[in-house]
Structure 1
């Protein structure tokens, strides 16, 4: 299967991305993302989709009438995003990696799944997932901070981050605003991400297992509770840190479950 993925991606990228888009649609990924974020994003809100990949989150945010800056460093994926959203003036595609400083960086890529990371230890399997993947290439890519993107495009209501283990580096470059932050949990670095967010005044967290359309519980957790929950499950999960700024979070938060 990996060989087939690799062949399609390298020889016929247009077909490869089309098949991935169709597959994600069949399993309802975009629908689940839309349901998950429907209470967090209002029409006209700005969302930064960092690590946009094939644009499934971007499409879900657009379904909710948000404006989206889709941030993706890989040229092949960035080209796909430009094609996919070429007729949509609500989407801006920015080809860059994101970290705590600007410049250039070495991006490690897989030839099988179009995944990439700035974390070399992820490639070697020294930390987190990665040993089972085929990290076949590396490329030099532009590097920017989230503060730079905010200065250029405006203050977001939500930042979604999926950068294969470099979440802490990305968030260290976000100092001028405090939007809600949705990030993929990559162990063990996720604990440092929770600590950083707590230091910056974030007190309310929610978790999502797999790609389900709702949260593990709609009772908000503290950073410590989120850490304990993550440590107690081997499953893939994502974490939402609700903005500590009332003008953002007051009307953009999941409603409590009935009786909760």
Structure 2
């Protein structure tokens, strides 16, 4: 007897729905907002400007706004934009833009994972190499591609002003985003991923060229710093080279010294 299941092709809308639900479960779970606001409060005061580069479903954008900041949020995935807007509904001073940030104005090809939209990326080399360099990505498939506009951080600063804090979570494009920045910002964060620490080193080098920074680390989706004392760039990179594989991924936080 023929097995009818082998002829079944899962529709794209089904994978997109599963992907969005997964993101909402992770990033909208109860209690998360209070933790995010405590984490960002040292960087953001009422009336400050914050950039959310890679806003996804808006958990950070909402935290920035509820701390009293004006927010510029970039999210290129059209299926996530309604959820991003819903996250900050009723709040003022928020600009939502369907763009990626990068080294120059123009456009980019976004590699989309329908089932895992949080790892959609405009860096094709990162997508092609990461499944063999980080075991937590072995099950991920990037099964769509869309053209998206690209803007630089310098352009955003020219339009909105210099942010007090800039969060960058763009799945392998972090160093390219920083290439579009020619002036220091007071504080920022960017993602690190085991198997792609060359990108992390590139980010640290670019920030060192802009100003003097110190660093801390938050593993995964936790909301507590790993180090009691903030570290230099070489110190944090050396620690990641030894321990990054165990963590998988997380965020590095940079604050300007004597800003």
- TM-score with structure 1 length normalisation? 0.83
Task: Name the CA shift for 1:67/1:207 in 2 (closer, same or farther; >3 Å).
Answer: same
Task: Name the CA shift for 1:82/1:5 in 2 (closer, same or farther; >3 Å).
Answer: farther
Most deviating of 113-122 and 217-226: 113-122
CA distance in structure 2 between the partners assigned to 1:199 and 1:41 by the alignment: 24
CA distance in structure 1 between the partners assigned to 2:138 and 2:27 by the alignment: 25
2:173 to 143, 166, 178: 166
CA distance in structure 1 between the partners assigned to 2:230 and 2:84 by the alignment: 34
CA distance in structure 2 between the partners assigned to 1:53 and 1:4 by the alignment: 24
CA apart distance, 1:153? 1.2
- TM-score with structure 2 length normalisation? 0.84
CA apart distance, 1:133? 0.9
CA distance in structure 2 between the partners assigned to 1:123 and 1:112 by the alignment: 15
Confirm or deny that 1:155 pairs with 2:162.
yes
Q: Which residue of 1 aligns with 2:251?
A: 238
Task: Name the CA shift for 1:121/1:20 in 2 (closer, same or farther; >3 Å).
Answer: closer
Q: Which residue of 2 aligns with 1:226?
A: 236
Q: Which residue of 2 aligns with 1:175?
A: 182
Structure 1 counterpart SS, 2:80: helix
Confirm or deny that 1:194 pairs with 2:204.
yes
Structure 2 counterpart SS, 1:230: helix
Confirm or deny that 1:124 pairs with 2:134.
no
CA distance in structure 2 between the partners assigned to 1:225 and 1:4 by the alignment: 47
Confirm or deny that 1:141 pairs with 2:148.
yes
Q: Which residue of 1 aligns with 2:220?
A: 210
Task: Name the CA shift for 1:123/1:19 in 2 (closer, same or farther; >3 Å).
Answer: closer
Matches within 5 A, 1:80-91: 80-91=83-94
CA apart distance, 1:19? 6.8
CA distance in structure 2 between the partners assigned to 1:128 and 1:48 by the alignment: 30
RMSD: 2.5
Matches within 5 A, 1:44-59: 44-59=47-62
CA distance in structure 2 between the partners assigned to 1:161 and 1:84 by the alignment: 19
CA apart distance, 1:178? 2.3
CA distance in structure 2 between the partners assigned to 1:243 and 1:9 by the alignment: 41
CA distance in structure 2 between the partners assigned to 1:200 and 1:128 by the alignment: 30
CA apart distance, 1:84? 3.3
CA distance in structure 2 between the partners assigned to 1:30 and 1:239 by the alignment: 19
Unaligned runs of 5+ in 2: 1-8
CA contact (8 A) 2:52 2:61 kept: yes
Task: Name the CA shift for 1:132/1:111 in 2 (closer, same or farther; >3 Å).
Answer: same
Confirm or deny that 1:30 pairs with 2:33.
yes
Q: Which residue of 1 aligns with 2:95?
A: 92
CA contact (8 A) 1:122 1:128 kept: no
Matches within 5 A, 1:48-87: 48-87=51-90
